[in-house]
Structure 1
Amino acid sequence: MAQNTGFKTSRTLETTMTLEGRVLNEDGTPISGANVEGKMGRYATTNGMGYFKLPANMGEEIVIRGLDFETVYYRIRSNEDIEIRVQNPEQDTQKLSTLSYKIAMDSAQFYLKKDAQKTADFLIAALSNNPKSLSTAQESAAYEKLGDLYTFNKQYDLAIDNYTQAEALEKSFKITIKKADALRLNGNYQEAITAYKINPNKKAGALTTTDQLARLNGLADAYSKTNNETKALETYKEALSIAALANRKSEMTSINTNIASIYNSLGELDDAESYYNTAIKESKKESPKANVVTQSQTADFYNSNAQFDKEIALRKNNIQLLDEIAADKKRIKGKPESVATDHKEGFLNSPKLMAESESVSSEYDMEEIVMDSPVETTSIAPVTENTNLGLTKQKEQLKIAEALKSQNKISEAISFFEASLEEATVNNDLAIKKDAAKSLYELNKKAGNTKKALSYNELYINTVDALYLEKENELEETARKAKELVSKQTRILTLEKDRELTENKIALINTERELTQEMNQRQRWIIYSLVALSLLLLTLAYFMYRNNKQQKINNHLLALKSLRSQMNPHFIFNALNSVNNYIAQNDERAANKYLADFSKLMRSVLENSELDFIPLEKEIDLLGLYLKLEHERFKDKFDFKLDIDPAIKEAHLQVPPMLLQPIIENAVWHGLRYKNEKGYLNVAFARVENGIQVTITDNGIGREQSKAIKTEHQKKRDSKGLGNIKNRVALLNELHDCEIDIKVSDAGLSPDVGTTVVVNFKN
């Protein structure tokens, strides 16, 4: 083989092989300078003869890119040399554009399970080559096949869209069932149930036994997914009776298994075992493969209920059957040679390539038994997320070993784990190999076989790494295929839209222009009206808000003024009583002096009566004058002291006028006046952190005794005075955003030793 012209090794990942290959055009001419990319930055280019070499690992995907051909993705399956033939995209497009509807549909059917992109390309050609000549049935069939493609590739949301389109074009119970299956697989269980329940008389075509069984199985599975086991059992049993009448052995096997599974989930183990046994009997009549699958499912049932002996017996029988099946296939077909194929070897394969492709798939059939749900026909057993249920010899050996391990039969378990590991190694089954190696590590470690345990642990770690890489490759390939299929679906939608636009272009343009003009005019009027209405409403709202706010302020001001007017007459009345008392005692000199001080106080009170706030210094002067007058009247009842913090002058605080006077008046008239011995009143102004604190303390008779000796008239008047103070403070706080707080408490430890009132004026 010729030498390659470009070569770059991996920097971080050790490779296990060197892949050698050649890239050719469809006509066999070599392509030079093609880009060949592997994992971890590995790269090579083809030489003049189209050859390349690339370090790689088994199972990896390489990408071949070039300007003149479509990108090719190739998964490494063997150590043998590969030959990849590519096609020119323009040539592909030209070929597709010349295909008839029938050829395009037949080709799509051939590639349905082999190459999703090619299938989509053929279906696009079927829909777009001669759209005017397509009948409704033909167009519906193409969309149905698209739904089959997306279902097979597990893109159920896209499948639903295409089945819906097919159903809209031509009613068919078969399409309805496929759509219901896609809904169920997509998790739309309620919608699926509704679809399965559609009356068949309203659909086109006869309801065959196959259709009826498909409908009932799908409906039962949807009920099971929604935890409605009762309905699921009823539906499965109805399907079972139909299958029995039609002598459908395979359907009877799967339905019996499904019924048994539901009974198991309900905890009705006897019924579950009975149906599993019936399923095994039916599967023996069907085929060895079906028998293996059914016995494996029954063994899983026994395992879930800790009936390990029964499980082991069934799995040992399965191993024998798997050996017989493999021997029969090898004897009939022989072991085929490995054939390297790529994802894009050409749209129309030669008979030779088709035969080679079939032989490759048959080789894998020898290694694993799968239950395929065909997409091209309506499935009897409902399609599930796991359309392939893999059953291999190594898997059954592993489960036998796990059952023996659960029975604490360690030596026997180790023997089966080793057999499973050996079989998995031969068949490159990394998942089983990983589980077997891990279990052997744990059991040998437990048995004290440290050396063996370490070797199995190392094997486990290496297998996990290999499995991770394999899964990563699979996820990457799946994501790429999904992206490509979404792109194809977008193209299909675009083609459909383009066709509709082409057919109705002139009419749509004219109609759209008229509608646009009319709509724009209507929208302008609506917008203008809404803007005008909004402005009007905003204006009204603003004026209403402003009026309400002003009215509220006026009401508060009026209430505040009313409270002030109620307080001042109360004080004047008490002061005049004092003057009258002096006159009654014929103390003219004291009366004149008291009256002069009273006149001075009244002038200040009247000057401040219309103000909500006055300077704190002025309020202190007024209180000092008031205390002097009250002391003149009750010299024998109390002495007083006015403590002023020097820092008060720096506060520059404004306070409500005569707010403290009623409190001092209450202390004198209701606390100190009734005291037998001479009392004491202290009024202290202190500068605190966030304002001024005024503490008014007396050692009078206390609040409780004062209440006891009051007359009914005094009680009402005192209550009204204190209420006025509280109301005034509340209005001031709300109207002027003040923070005035009044707290009243007993001055001593008992309620008969005076009262303390603390008033806080915050800045």
Structure 2
Amino acid sequence: MRIDINKSFDHIDEIISFQDKIAKKKLVANTYRVKAILQYFTSKFPEALESLNNALKIDNALKDNSGIGKDLSTMGLVYMAQSKFPEALRCYLAALTKFDAKKDELDIAATNSNIGTIYNEMGNLSQAMENYQKSYVIHKKHKNYINQVNTLTNMASIFYKKKDLNEAIKYSKLSLKLADSIADLGAIARESGNLSGYYSHQMQPDLALTYGLKATEINKKLKNKRSLAYNYVNVSSAYYKKEDYKQSKIYGLMAYNIGKELNITEITRDASLGLSEVYEAVKMPDSALFYHKAFYKFADSIGSDKKKTEITRMGIQYDFDKKELSYQQKQSLADAQLKQQSLQLALNNAELQKTIQLRDLQRISLENEKLINQEKEKQLIIAKNKEKLQANRVNALSQAQKLNKLELKQLWLYGALAILVLASVIVYLINLYRIRQLRFKNTLQKQEALQNELLLKHQFQLTESELKAIRSQMNPHFIFNVLNSIESYVMDNDKRTASRLIQKFASLTRLILENSTKSLVSADREWKALKLYTELEAMRYNDSFTFNFYADEDLQLNTLLLPPMLVQPLIENAILHGLIGSRKPDSHLEVRLKKHDNGINITVEDNGTGIVNEPKANIKFGIKEKSMGLASIKERIAVINAQKNENVASFKITSKPETGTIASIFLPYFESAVA
């Protein structure tokens, strides 16, 4: 989030995409809250409030007070960024009622620090500093470096408003050093921008520019338009101090426009003041007056007495509510203690009655136990006589059972031996049969593998022969067309240009001859050959068209492999049948090489006559009358698909909506082993 905000958005959106499958809905609420913070950093304030409402809905359903407090506190941050201070304070105070004093100590400290910022904006500097100092102690205790950075920044702003620039710079540099130690790019950019403003007011414009331009570069990378606008205000002020009014006006207007776009009154207020001073310095009183009035208008909307009164009223109401809640809690505790004493008295009476009943019950139980013991003694004597008689009977029966068991065991032993011998014979026969079957299958598999190897070798040789035959048709065809171009230019132009044409053709011919011996060549060599051919055709037709070659930066052309002379017929057709025939003054050819999901995509695009509007009788140039290019491309595509054994390569040609043609070739990704 503090290094690459786009990647943060990707992770958050990925979680939200499967939020219905997440059992712990608290995690979903946390996700929406983090997304709101990302949107706050990128100045997407309405979207941030929408994400926070989603989080608040989930936390309310879960009755998670800590989550509700965090949602409300973050809402206050979004409102404060838009200079809506009463709304921000209302959210902060509501958040404090939800936090637990022990579990949420850090969140309470951060919220109180933000309330201090509201006091700061309203001019109550002593109350603001008190809030900052209390929060800083808690953040330092918990080693929360991010919030320590923010609190130091706020303290520096108090000293700045008190005209103590040395202390402001001291605290600001402490904040910058701590932000740099945790690699927080957002905080580094913010504090560099603040130092720019402090040095500007200290009449050190060079230092102000150094810090201000550093902050703008980081915020451009982070796409933080809100912070960028503050940076522009400070850079504009620095240029004004250096009497470079042109640059001061440029940065001031950029800040003013962003403030209007994001509807942030503080930015438009500060930018208006700076612009009024610049226009006054360059003797443009009307513009100076316009921005001076704008400054007072925006300043009044932020620090109006009505808003100050509302914020003060909410602060007093919050303190009153806290005292009222404390009184109610004490009263409830006293009532609970009185009820507990009454309950304890009733419980003691019940225990006394229970003790009396238990004593009577024990006396009756003791008499009953004596009678039971006498009856048990009689039953014990009878039971002993019965046991002796039963033991004699059991002994006789046991002897008979042992004799029967011994005979049964002998029969089982003989049966088990017979079954074991039979099972051994069957297992031996089965294993012998399986070994023979495995040997037979192994022999068959070896024969099939040998046949498949011979078949694949035959198919490869056949495919390679077809590819060589197609290349043998393609290369003479291309050379024939280029020689016609040279002949035409030599006949119509001066010797020097003709010599340049022949040199380029020599380089192109060498590339073609080297590439024609291979089925695949490196993309950088093929790309160079295509550019040379297009340059020759442009020279031949007196630069009657422009062209551009573009390859993706992600592609390594020296390791990527392409079939040679596959794209050249498309460029030739675009020039001869599209651009030259149209005779348009802005004729243009675009050749692009891009990555594709399953490989690479090569497109040749022109703004010529198009397929539908192509004249039936094209103008003939040189002695070329018949084009074999498209048929050759289709044959080579078929060969590539045959080698891959699937339809990975394709070719299509279509007309553009207005004028022109787009030809696309999709190829698998061939890559060499060594760069």
When normalised by structure 1's length, the TM-score is 0.31
Higher percent of residues as strand: 1
Give the greater-gyration-radius structure (CA).
1
When normalised by structure 2's length, the TM-score is 0.35
